[in-house]
Structure 1
């Protein structure tokens, strides 16, 4: 299997960068990006409602906090256009250094924002602004990482290489959730006053390490080939919209469960478990930590399987299992029994992780090398735009239903169906490209 399914594919020239360095660079970079992004999600569920959106109704305050969470996803399509253009014109490597800088600085700065009681309305304005910057940078990060990894991959190992950026999600989740779990040991007043800021400020030193590692990786062979043949697209995003709009929407549908489904069973689940069901924050953070730890194994195993089994089949399997488990998982969480809630989160995240693992393999196969960065970024971040509103939609459904669990289960089931459609569409697209 190879991502070079299009007519512009040629003999991949040998990459000078050592494979270990490529693997390290994509994992470290995406781990920092996901740490920064998940950190905001955890804080939105536990802290921001009281720090920046104080109100009498906790659910309304949570909705306001999740609205700012969604802003980051709303900004991602813009980031996809900007960084997709740069990735297809100046190169994958240089673009990924820019995205890393932006998200690291914006995340660290969140830890410096005074709360609403100190500076009033400027507090949420500053928070939303920095979240917007986070979203723009993240809009170009994931696509670039999976493309850089897959284009550097030795032939026949694209699956394990392109799945590596997906390790950034559980690693970032573990670090961010672990930080809040550890800080939860502080007295409540101390945590509220300044303790929650520590994980955000830690983004600054982590950024320095990630930049150093990523700077050591060379440009991808596929981009070098496009540049050498003077085939760089002048407006790659427009070319995607003109020549491959179906592929872009197929990519979005396939990626939807990896974003919308994932944040439903993590970010929203933390808020739902602590605010509605009555579980402790330590129970919910333990659940997400345990799920993320197992997710690392799931991603590694699935990535290796993708070099032996068609990635589309793996993606379909993950979506179908997630759809089947939607109802029992949500109702287990709603039971209020800590052990059952933890088990539900750990189990439901794994089939989502299976699909997520091979999304990075499949999406680059849908686009030619000259528009690959833009195509993957746009498709993935359209899913991100819609998926970012899933916790907000779920909270609204909770309000409308009188805190019933069944609308949440139905929402997860629908998300799984959408991604099944995306996987089937991707299979048709790839078969057509391979036949041409």
Structure 2
């Protein structure tokens, strides 16, 4: 094989490895997050907070929120080192931290064995999960984007989001055989299996990431001593408008939370629908997302990020009313169709595009920090949507109108913020996020090669 052929093939190979490792890393991240939530509902109160009585369930759910508090901190820390030292090693560190934290939760002694040490260790490991999550998907999106060929950047980065949906699906499926165990086995060792199983995904994703090279665009910055000394400071000084813009765009992630949490609660507890069937509707939608998101990304590579993202947000704003109405109808056919339209098509369009769209708004010097901090701030806002939505119903759980209007408003805000952004799908990789005046000034100083 000639040197030129090898050089031509290496970027494409790196892009594919980056996409697969991003898929597995995101799958691990959300698998870990969701199995913790299921365990909090089913086991953790009895195992780690038995003396709290009825408050034990509340305490076990409170541990879920610890990770959301930790995510912005992780975004700042990982973003700083990712922009200073490189994407690859930082992503290896986030992957190991997430996998190790999850595996160790499965090894923890319970309250009956270790007393108060057990819940303290549980909360600490959950905090570390959140720190890891603050850098995983933003860093993976940045790395994949910088390896991907121009014209296919959204397609490759979309695999990060498909990994998230896949993680949600397998986190739901893994508890089915566990719940079939005898009660004694379930409470002694069975609950540990989903946590211990995360080690396998961690090892595979780690192996793939070790094969990657640093993106060329970052290596050029590092070789030229042009990396940012303080990425967060530089980001806020020069790109604060994009930080605000991406944070507001990211609140569209509220859609998936409303679909998987608030709509499920309304359907099963208020409308009296069958829980397994509602879970099946959610699972079908998420499985469909794994398949369809890369297709939506291909469309954005051809017509632009903004048209696809804005169309998705506006579709969600309208379809949230359709979906809740379908739940009210009690027709499973309508529920499945409306769920696919709302979450798979509407939200899928936004979800598929945003890893490329958001990352492309920031220059390589501060891309990891910009993507991580902005996205995590938006996700924190989305994470509180169940609490806000429940409060807006004013004690009347049968009134889903406020929840739908809250979701529609969030989608409208995201669409408006996206409308003000620069269209980036045709911008060369080395010009992404850079101010037009700087590019023109550099071009004017460069002698013509003709």
For this structure pair, what is the TM-score category when the shorter chain's length is used for normalisation? 0.7 to 0.9
2:305 touches 2:424 (CA, 8 Å); kept in 1?
A: no
| Larger Rg over CA atoms | 2
Give yes or no for the alignment of 1:23 onto 2:19: yes
Seen in structure 2, the aligned counterparts of structure 1 residues 279 and 40 have a Cα distance that, compared at 3 Å, is: farther
Matches of 1:331 and 1:128 in 2, distance apart? 39
How far has the Cα of 1:328 moved from its partner? 2.3
How far has the Cα of 1:148 moved from its partner? 0.8
Matches of 1:234 and 1:167 in 2, distance apart? 34
State the SS of the aligned residue for 2:399: coil
Q: 2:281 aligns to what? A: 287
| Length-normalised TM-score, structure 2 | 0.83
2:266 touches 2:398 (CA, 8 Å); kept in 1?
A: no
1:69 alignment partner, one of 64, 67, 73: 64
Seen in structure 2, the aligned counterparts of structure 1 residues 296 and 311 have a Cα distance that, compared at 3 Å, is: same
1:80 alignment partner, one of 75, 80, 84: 75
Give yes or no for the alignment of 1:369 onto 2:364: yes
Matches of 2:181 and 2:367 in 1, distance apart? 47
Seen in structure 2, the aligned counterparts of structure 1 residues 98 and 240 have a Cα distance that, compared at 3 Å, is: same
Q: 1:312 aligns to what? A: 306
Seen in structure 2, the aligned counterparts of structure 1 residues 220 and 428 have a Cα distance that, compared at 3 Å, is: closer
1:74 touches 1:388 (CA, 8 Å); kept in 2?
A: no
Seen in structure 2, the aligned counterparts of structure 1 residues 277 and 418 have a Cα distance that, compared at 3 Å, is: same
Matches of 1:237 and 1:30 in 2, distance apart? 24
How far has the Cα of 1:123 moved from its partner? 4.8
Query: Tell me, which stretches of 5 or more residues in structure 1 are unaligned?
Result: 1-11
Seen in structure 2, the aligned counterparts of structure 1 residues 386 and 364 have a Cα distance that, compared at 3 Å, is: same
Cα shift readout 1:196-219 (whole Å, capped 9, x = no counterpart) = 432112112221111111111111
Seen in structure 2, the aligned counterparts of structure 1 residues 417 and 71 have a Cα distance that, compared at 3 Å, is: farther
Q: 1:41 aligns to what? A: 37
Matches of 2:232 and 2:192 in 1, distance apart? 37
Seen in structure 2, the aligned counterparts of structure 1 residues 244 and 69 have a Cα distance that, compared at 3 Å, is: same
2:304 touches 2:424 (CA, 8 Å); kept in 1?
A: no
How far has the Cα of 1:49 moved from its partner? 5.9
Seen in structure 2, the aligned counterparts of structure 1 residues 152 and 297 have a Cα distance that, compared at 3 Å, is: same
Q: 2:246 aligns to what? A: 251
1:73 touches 1:135 (CA, 8 Å); kept in 2?
A: yes
Higher RCO (CA < 8 A, seq sep 6+): 1
State the SS of the aligned residue for 1:75: helix
Q: Which moved more, 1:188-197 or 1:343-352?
A: 188-197
Seen in structure 2, the aligned counterparts of structure 1 residues 44 and 290 have a Cα distance that, compared at 3 Å, is: farther
How far has the Cα of 1:188 moved from its partner? 6.4
State the SS of the aligned residue for 2:420: helix
Seen in structure 2, the aligned counterparts of structure 1 residues 195 and 404 have a Cα distance that, compared at 3 Å, is: farther
Cα shift readout 1:220-268 (whole Å, capped 9, x = no counterpart) = 111101101111111101111122111111111112212x221221244
Q: 1:212 aligns to what? A: 207
Matches of 2:194 and 2:312 in 1, distance apart? 32
Matches of 1:71 and 1:111 in 2, distance apart? 18
Q: 1:332 aligns to what? A: 326
Give yes or no for the alignment of 1:135 onto 2:142: no
Matches of 1:53 and 1:268 in 2, distance apart? 26
How far has the Cα of 1:383 moved from its partner? 0.9
Matches of 2:329 and 2:59 in 1, distance apart? 26
Q: 2:5 aligns to what? A: none
Q: Which moved more, 1:86-95 or 1:109-118?
A: 109-118
How far has the Cα of 1:45 moved from its partner? 5.0
Cα shift readout 1:292-331 (whole Å, capped 9, x = no counterpart) = 1110122111111111011111000010000101122134
1:56-205 alignment to 2 at 5 Å?
A: 65-113=60-108, 123-186=118-181, 191=186, 194-205=189-200
Matches of 1:129 and 1:276 in 2, distance apart? 36
State the SS of the aligned residue for 1:353: helix
Seen in structure 2, the aligned counterparts of structure 1 residues 395 and 107 have a Cα distance that, compared at 3 Å, is: farther
How many matched pairs? 422
Query: Tell me, which stretches of 5 or more residues in structure 2 are unaligned?
Result: 1-7, 428-432, 438-450
How far has the Cα of 1:73 moved from its partner? 1.8
1:32 alignment partner, one of 28, 33, 38: 28
State the SS of the aligned residue for 2:11: coil
State the SS of the aligned residue for 2:364: coil
| Length-normalised TM-score, structure 1 | 0.86
2:304 touches 2:423 (CA, 8 Å); kept in 1?
A: no
1:302 alignment partner, one of 296, 308, 316: 296
How far has the Cα of 1:109 moved from its partner? 2.2
State the SS of the aligned residue for 1:404: coil
Alignment root-mean-square deviation, CA: 3.1
Matches of 2:294 and 2:244 in 1, distance apart? 27
How far has the Cα of 1:184 moved from its partner? 3.9
Seen in structure 2, the aligned counterparts of structure 1 residues 220 and 267 have a Cα distance that, compared at 3 Å, is: farther
